[in-house]
Each structure stands twice: as C-alpha cells, then as structure tokens.
Structure 1
Amino acid sequence: MKNKLLCGMVVFMMSAAAMAQQSFSTPEQATDALASAISEQNESAMSNLLGENWRDFLPPEGVDPDAVARFLRDWKVRHNTVVEGNTAHLAVGDSGWQLPIPVVKTASGWQFDMKEGVEEILTREIGRNELAAIEALHAYVDAQQNYFALNQKYAQKIVSADGKKDGLYWPVSPGETPSPLGPAFSPKEPGAGYHGYRFRILPDNNGFAMVAWPVSYGQTGVMSFVINQNDKVYQSDIGRDSEQKARAMTAYNPDKTWQPVEP
C-alpha cells in the first residue's frame, strides 16, 4: 500500500541533531521540499521538515523501499497540494493518493504537522490490517477444503507438529507440494501475529470455523472476525478484551452483534 511510504522512509533516517522545524511561504514549497528529501534520501532534510521526533509517530512496520519508489513514480506522474483554509494535503498519482501528514499554516509559515497526522496514520494502519485479516480468513477456508481433499477430514490446528502433516501448514523441501496454508500463519516470533491479527480455529459441528482478533486493540486493529465453511465473514467490535473473548469462544455461533462483511 502506498501509505507504507511513511514506514519506508525509516530506511533513510538515523538520529539527527535537534533543529527547528522548517517553515515555508507556501504549502507547495513544503511538499516540494519533502519530495526532494525523499528522492535524495536526505536524513537531515527529513528531520528538518517533519521534526526531530517524527519517527515516534510512525508504526514500527519496518522498511518498504518499494512503497517509496511508487511514491516517487506517482509524484512524477502527477502531484497536487490541496489547500483548505489553513491546512493543505499532498496528493500524488492518477489515483490522488493523499499523504496522511498535513501541512498547516503557523505564525512562522507553512510546515508539516506530524501530530495532526497521527490519527490518520493509525486509521490507515488499522484498515490495512483488517483487510489482511479478512483475506486470511478466506485463505483459511480454501486451505481447509484442500486439506479435506487430501485427508477426508478437516484440520483441527493451524500449524502441524514437527515432522507431521496434521495441521494446515507444514514446512516443505524444494520441489515438494506446498501445504494448504502458507507460512505466514506461523510467525517466527511467538505472539507476533499476522498483519496485526491472531487466529484460532473454532469447533464447528457442521464443518470448520475460525476467529481472528487484533494483537493490540485500537493499535493493530479494532474489529474481530469469524468465518466458517460457508466462506462468509462476520465482524464485531468486541472491545479491549478482544483476546480474552476470542479465546473463550467454544463454538462458531455469531449472534446479532456480529455483522456480515460486504464482499
């Protein structure tokens, strides 16, 4: 996603000396300076534009240099600084992707406001994670169907025991047929989750089911999701104790508090 640009910038930045944040006569000058700093991989310019603590406001996703490259390509295709009163936003590319950090008018001129961009950055991060969780649940349905075709029964766990194929995922050697589910459901770091979500197979007498909930409610996601063999996802905001509630589920049985996710 293009909003991963912000996280991708981290590759260019190391600690910089404290400095006053730069201001400009027009918002266009500010956005032009940002594009130039990204293109030149200029760490001093980035800290000067966004403030010395700008990294504190970004989600720790790691580096995505492809997203940076897409931003620079889209900038060349088209870019526009949209001004509304004392706030302006940079939009790039044919799709008009908008940078989540606004440029605001201050007493000293136009400058980027990282604090104002925090909510939008978080909202986009949550949205990406929730979409990834929904897609993962659909992948789970496909995996169970493939597992059934091989074993005439549904898997009761996600990751197989060492040396066995009793779950939906098991490691394979080059040339071997891959397992029904990919390795992303088996993160290298225990508890890390997949795109900010954790997953658990639910008992279901009619087939199979799964629940997904955010690793950190309000930070990596808000909604929790369930699915069964009918491949229809339901969602619900079950609150800050999402993990406890999801782990306490004894069966697939979404009530009226769960709403269908439109395809």
Structure 2
Amino acid sequence: MKSKLLSGMVLFMLSASAMAQQSFSTPDQATDALANAIREQNESAMNNLLGENWRDFLPPEGVDPDAVDRFLRDWKVRHNTVVEGDTAHLVVGETDWQLPIPVIKTTSGWQFDIKEGAEEILTREIGRNELAAIEALHAYVDAQQSYYAMNQKYAQKIVSTTGKKDGLYWPASPGEAPSPLGPAFSPKEPGTGYHGYRFRILPDNNGFAMVAWPVSYGQTGVMSFVINQDDTVYQRDLGKDSQHKAQALPAYNPDKSWVPVVP
C-alpha cells in the first residue's frame, strides 16, 4: 500500500539520485558491508551503502536498538544472500528473517535499492503497530477487571482526573501500588498515540469496551479494532475516514463487517 508520504519520499529520493552510491561485484560483498556498517554504527558507511537520505525511509521513531542487536545476533547464527535474477535479499537467523531492502544488479554493480524497500518497510511497520494495538486492547481488558476488583465498577476514562483515581491510570506515589493501566495510552506528546494508534472507551451495557484506530491511516496502521469484556478483538478497515468513523461509534456493537482477530 502506497501512502502520500511514501510517494513524497520516493520523489525526493529520485531528485537526489545523482548522488553516487557504493556498488559491489557480488551481492554477498554488499550485504557483508552492510552488516559491518551496522555493527560499527558507521553512519558514513551507511550513507555510502544506502544513500544519504536512507533515514527518510525508516519509521518515524528511528531504528530500535533491540532490533539492531537481534539482527547482529541472527547474523552470527546464520546469514545468506538469496539471489533471484538481478535481485538479491539478505536473510539471517534460524527463522530466515529477510532484510526489507533488496540488493539489485545495476550497470555499475550490485547495490542496495532503498526505494524498492520503502514499501516493505512501511508494510512491516504497520504490521508491528497493529499487533501492538491488539496487545494494548487485551491489556485494557485486564486493567478494567483490576479496576472493578478495587472499585466494584468499571472505569469510564483511561486517564484519571488530576489528584483522583477515577480512571485506569494515575501516577503512583513511591511505595504505592501501580494503577491498573500504565501511562502508554496517554502519550507525552498529544496526538502521537501509542505505536501509531489512538484509543477510546466505548459505552457497553454489558460491561466495558474500547475502540482503537490508526493515528494516520495507511502510514501508522490500516485496520481499526474493537474489544469488550469478552476479550475478543474484532477488526475492520474503516478506510481514510477511520478517525471520524471510530470516534462516531455510539457504542460497542460490531456487525458482520467486523471480523474476529485470529490469535
């Protein structure tokens, strides 16, 4: 799926294509050079391998240090460059994780093509965000159950009023038991959401419910999700108007257009 942001990035890279990019006589040499650059955290080498604007194609929050560590560990376990015609992909680890950026054969040799990898990077980021949203909804169910055990009623808001404990989250004082829900649902920067998603408690006569939708449709997520006390997540693609449609939901009442998420 191509977003306007992705298209803009591609156009920007095309305008900068005059910048020389390092080429190799074999794809293995290219992937070895990339692994070394990542291991050494060599910014200059990364620029030579991927192009000076390669960071424009990464998720907004940048590279996850844990993901880099996993890549380097998997590289030591096993790595292989799979060649199919004029395109090659690096796979690492026991699960054969594939680097989203391909190595392509050009007139000057083999080099990384980050423009070709941009859509795959975006797709994978969306997938991670959607999984995080699903996990967050399950955490919401647990939090409501904990809140009910303390108050014999369900919370009607995510974040408590300042100085009160009328929501699922409140700042805990030293030595005090933590609130049922952590602060992640209430980001420090308004509008950023949690892993690319926003959340709203929905009215439900049978208990409690919640809806989650992408901060930016097609860029941070695609599917919207709902859940209630039964702890079953339903999903639906609400399209470009996801925010408006999710905020307009009057109550928890998923019809047949909402499909259960398979665990």
TM-score, structure 2 length as denominator? 0.91
Q: What's 1:43 paired with?
A: 43
Secondary structure of 2:140 counterpart: helix
Query: Structure 1 unaligned runs (5+)?
Result: 1-17
Query: Counterparts in 2 of 1:101-120, with a 5 A limit?
Result: 101-120=101-120
Query: Counterparts in 2 of 1:221-260, with a 5 A limit?
Result: 221-260=221-260
Query: Counterparts in 2 of 1:1-263, with a 5 A limit?
Result: 19-263=19-263
User: Amino acid of the residue matched to residue 240 of structure 2?
Assistant: R
Shift of 1:66: 2.5
Q: What's 2:11 paired with?
A: none
Shift of 1:63: 4.4
Shift of 1:234: 0.3
User: Amino acid of the residue matched to residue 79 of structure 1?
Assistant: H
List structure 1 runs of 4+ shifted beyond 3 angstroms.
Answer: none
Secondary structure of 2:240 counterpart: coil
Quick one: distance in 1 between partners of 2:256 and 2:51?
47
User: Amino acid of the residue matched to residue 53 of structure 2?
Assistant: N
- The count of residues paired between Structure 1 and Structure 2 equals 246
Q: What's 2:4 paired with?
A: none
Quick one: distance in 1 between partners of 2:105 and 2:168?
54
Please tell me whether the aligned partners of residues 132 and 195 of structure 1 are also in contact (alpha carbons under 8 angstroms): yes
RMSD over equivalenced CA pairs, Å:
1.1
Offset from partner CA, 1:126-181 (integer Å, 9 cap, x none): 00000000000001011111111111111000000000000000000122111011
Q: What's 2:12 paired with?
A: none
Q: Percent identity?
A: 86
Quick one: distance in 2 between partners of 1:139 and 1:170?
16
Q: Which moved further from structure 2: 199-208 or 37-46?
A: 37-46
Secondary structure of 1:227 counterpart: strand
Query: Structure 2 unaligned runs (5+)?
Result: 1-17
Quick one: distance in 1 between partners of 2:25 and 2:120?
25
User: Amino acid of the residue matched to residue 113 of structure 1?
Assistant: D
Shift of 1:64: 2.4
TM-score, structure 1 length as denominator? 0.91
Quick one: distance in 1 between partners of 2:116 and 2:62?
22
Offset from partner CA, 1:172-210 (integer Å, 9 cap, x none): 012211101111111111111000000000001110100
Please tell me whether the aligned partners of residues 157 and 166 of structure 1 are also in contact (alpha carbons under 8 angstroms): yes
